[in-house]
Amino acid sequence: MSRFAIGVDLGGTRIRAALIDENGRLLQRAEAATAADAGPEVVVSQLDRIAMSVIADVPRDNLVGVGICAPGPLDAERGVALATPTIAGFVDLPLAAMVEGRIGLPVRLENDGIAAALGEWRFGAGVGRRNLVYVTVSTGVGGGVVADGRILRARRGMAGHVGHMTVVRDGEVCSCGNRGCWEAYASGTAFARRARLSAANCPSTALGENGAAIDGPAVFDAASKGDALARDLVSEEADLLGLGIVNLLHLYSPDVVVVGGGLSNGFDLLLPGIIGRINAAAMPPFRDTPVVRAGLSGDSGLIGVSTLVFEAAPSPVSTPSRAETVAL
């Protein structure tokens, strides 16, 4: 019997869901903008509707459950969102139980960074590695870690909040309330904000011409066309990404660093600056660690969390565990 999971990626900007098979293939997908300021009930209702919409004509018996990945910190063991900075009201919220009550399938909640690390490890850019750090750069900066051949979870499954390491003491205010976090400097949000500020003071740039929106993709587009300001902005972003990645090399010693999230669309433009910072700042034995783009594009988290659902479900061809019978 074919088995399927519903994977849900609940982000501060978008909710995305997909029907996923055991080989990590996405068969059906749906998404909507997250009503991030509307309160938990509205967001859970959105999530329910989008998740149900991907089931299509798959019989209920073939669905093993729902995997939700969401921004941390969350308690993966208990299925509780503890204090999500980017979604209002997600404080001590029993998200897994709420969704389970609506959908009637087992629900597994996982930190989006850890889920994406798992997806990249099983099916993406980290296949076959024993040690991997995944970094997602979009609205915020998140991550997940595989070390010594296992997902790093630690207390309450809260390890790997890489976006919230201070890299500038008493620096910019972050979404988490602290100052100087890597996220406050290297996220797509921070990148776009710097771009808007700089463009307003630079008559020669093509950024924002004719009232065009200034966001990450616009900066990458302008940089690839040779716009000087856009190139400087990309260099600065790459250096800030490299700054944090050097820390992660020293802290987790991965075999590979995998970069995903919206900003990885500009990965080729960012990579030289990232490598430059690594070569300048990492201790020599860490410098040869490859930095690669995520292999599953934006689906690392969806796919990763679905593997947890399959692992937790009883096997369809299960053999009862028992002592071997020996004919004497």
Phi, psi angle pair for 99, to nearest 5°: -70, -40
**Whole-number CA gyration radius for the chain:** 21
Binding part of the chain for a copy of itself, among 98-106, 172-180, 297-305, 312-320 by CB under 8 A, reads: 172-180
Would you list the DSSP string of 9-47? EE-SSEEEEEEEETTS-EEEEEEEE--TTS-HHHHHHHH
Min dist CB 165 to a copy of itself, Å, is 4
Residue whose C-alpha is closest to residue 130's, from 121, 141, 119, 117: 121
CA–CA separation, 273 and 283 (whole Å)? 17
251 counts as binding a copy of itself under rule CB under 8 A: yes
> DSSP secondary structure string, 120-165?
HHHHSTTTT-S-EEEEEESSSEEEEEEETTEE---GGG----GGGS
DSSP label of 315? P
Nearer to a copy of itself, 58 or 168 (CB): 168
CB nearer to a copy of itself: give 34 or 289. 289
Grouping H, G, I as helix, E, B as strand and the rest as coil, residue 213 is coil
CB closer to a copy of itself, 37 vs 172: 172
Write phi, then psi, for 181 (nearest 5 degrees).
-65, 155
Specify the residue, 160 or 262, whose C-beta has the smaller distance to a copy of itself: 160
Q: Can residue 253 be called a binding residue for a copy of itself (CB under 8 A)?
A: yes
- Taking the least distance from each CB to a copy of itself, the nearer of 177 and 272 is 177
Which DSSP helix (H) or strand (E) runs through 75?
strand 74-75
Identify which of residues 167 and 271 has a Cβ nearer to a copy of itself in the complex.
167
The answer to whether the CB of 252 falls within 8 A of the CB of 144 is no
Is 164 a binder of a copy of itself (CB under 8 A)?
yes
Nearer to a copy of itself, 99 or 245 (CB): 245
The answer to whether residue 162 forms part of the interface with a copy of itself (CB under 8 A) is yes
Binding of a copy of itself by 191 (CB under 8 A): no
Does position 308 interact with a copy of itself (CB under 8 A)? The reply is no
Which one of residues 9, 48, 75, 110 is an interface residue with a copy of itself (CB under 8 A)? 75
**What residues from 254 to 293 belong to the interface with a copy of itself (CB under 8 A)?**
254-255, 280-286, 289
CB of 162 to a copy of itself, least distance (A): 7
Q: x/- binding map, residues 202-231, to a copy of itself, per CB under 8 A?
A: ------------------------------
Closest approach of Cβ 190 to a copy of itself, in Å?
13
161 binds a copy of itself (CB under 8 A): yes
Q: Is 323 a residue that touches a copy of itself (CB under 8 A)?
A: no
Whether the CA torsion 55, 65, 307, 296 is positive or negative: it is: positive
Binds a copy of itself (CB under 8 A): choice among 20, 64, 141, 159: 159
Task: Compute φ and ψ for 92, nearest 5 degrees.
Answer: 50, 45
As measured in angstroms, the least distance from the Cβ of 153 to a copy of itself is: 6
Burial 251-262 (b: 16+ CB within 10 A, else e): ebebebbbbbbb
Residue whose tokens read 């800030």: 240
d(CA 264, CA 225): 18
DSSP 206: -
Please select the residue that binds a copy of itself; options are 130, 225, 279, 297, rule is CB under 8 A.
130
Interacting residue ranges for a copy of itself, rule: CB under 8 A: 73, 75, 82-83, 85, 130-131, 147-148, 150, 152-162, 164-169, 171, 176-179, 185, 243, 246-247, 250-255, 280-286, 289, 328
